[in-house]
Amino acid sequence: MLVSCHGLDMIIAIVNQKGGVGKTTIAAHLAMWLAERGGRIALIDTDEQQTASRWLSEADQHVRVITEHRADALIECGPGLSETFDFVIADGPANLAESTRALLLVADLAVIPCGATMPELESTSATVRMLRNAQAVRRSDLPTALLVLSRMKPTRYRLTRDAMEAAHALGIPVARHSIPAREAIADAPGQRTAVWHLGLHARDAADALAMLLEEIETYAQESTKRIGDPHGGAGSLPASGAKAA
Ligand SMILES: Nc1ncnc2c1ncn2[C@@H]1O[C@H](COP(=O)(O)OP(=O)(O)O)[C@@H](O)[C@H]1O
Ligand SMILES: [Mg+2]
């Protein structure tokens, strides 16, 4: 677990062109999780439905919410925000390819959530392609990437096992922890809080989410460190363009 996240100034984009895969669920919970650990956190809400904005504006944790979906503005504001905040979490849009590309150009880590079904995994390959293109444009392994399976059913079901194989076949690391399908997780935005504040009935969902968020947090730090200094290490372009000077 992170003891102190001050000074990390990292951008984590939660992206998938497909809607309903768990982007907002992960983005809002990750932002609240890091804020509860003392981090200065900003969340960029790129979705016109503004679910994350409404959710976090009434939540107890202090997360600065910025609503922005225009691609150029995202490229311009991301790096500046990351200088002010320890983590900038971007809740990616559905079906706004330019905005998703923009996030991939400024992010240090792309978390790609995906339902554990074959159609969702197949359509996620379009987002993986965008990720590869962004890495090529940046001439870097940034953003690093992590695929997260969401709304998981028990692995004994044949479909889920096939989905696990298809997830690995996408060619990016798959998070060890996934998000189980749980009522409490669907209930959290309406309650304007994190699932771990919903009481005993949500305990199992909260534990699962906590393990995933801890994994994302650790992966964010370790994967970008492996590549080198994310802000200008040899062989890779800076993670955040505005800091190149
Ligand atoms: N693990 C889960 N269990 C139950 N419901 C979920 C889970 N993850 C997401 N949902 C619900 O599914 C819907 C889509 O999730 P959301 O995070 O908004 O996806 P996206 O941002 O990718 O469109 C929401 O109503 C959300 O509450
Ligand atoms: Mg969303």
Please write the tens of the pLDDT for every residue from 100-118.
Answer: 999 999 999 999 999 988 8
> Residue 228: its pLDDT value, please?
64
The predicted-structure confidence for 193-232, as pLDDT tens digits, reads as follows 999 999 999 999 999 999 999 999 999 999 877 776 544 4
CA–CA separation, 105 vs 74, rounded Å?
9
Give the domain CATH number at 193.
Answer: 3.40.50.300
> Residue 181: its pLDDT value, please?
94
Is 35 contained in some domain?
yes
Is 243 contained in some domain?
no
Global pTM reads 0.91
Structural domain for 22, as ranges: 10-226
Ligand 1 site, residue 205, Cβ cutoff 6 A = no
> Residue 160: its pLDDT value, please?
78
**Ligand closest in space to the Cα of 25:** 1
How far is the centre of ligand 2, averaged over its atoms, from the C-alpha of 19 (Å)? 7
> Residue 236: its pLDDT value, please?
36
Q: Which of 118-132, 149-163, 230-244 has the lowest mean pLDDT?
A: 230-244
> Residue 164: its pLDDT value, please?
86
Ligand 1 site, residue 19, Cβ cutoff 6 A = yes
117-126, 146-155, 232-241: range with highest mean pLDDT: 117-126
Is 1 contained in some domain?
no
Q: Which residue do the tokens 């953003």 mark?
A: 143
Residue 45's SS3 state is strand
Q: Which residue do the tokens 């669907």 mark?
A: 186
Pick the closest to residue 241 from 17, 77, 110, 21 (CA basis): 77
How far is the centre of ligand 1, averaged over its atoms, from the C-alpha of 53 (Å)? 15
Is 231 contained in some domain?
no
Q: How many domains does the chain have?
A: 1
Ligand 1 site, residue 46, Cβ cutoff 6 A = no
Half-sphere exposure of 158 (CA within 13 A, CB side): 0
The larger pLDDT score, comparing residue 173 to residue 231, is at 173
Is 233 contained in some domain?
no
Is 2 contained in some domain?
no
Whether the predicted pLDDT of 235 surpasses 90: no
Pick the closest to residue 142 from 25, 43, 48, 228 (CA basis): 228
Residue 148's SS3 state is strand
Pick the closest to residue 131 from 142, 117, 139 (CA basis): 142
Alpha helices in the chain (DSSP H): 23-36, 51-57, 71-84, 97-106, 118-138, 158-169, 183-191, 203-227
Is 107 contained in some domain?
yes
How far is the centre of ligand 1, averaged over its atoms, from the C-alpha of 150 (Å)? 8
> Residue 78: its pLDDT value, please?
86
Is 33 contained in some domain?
yes
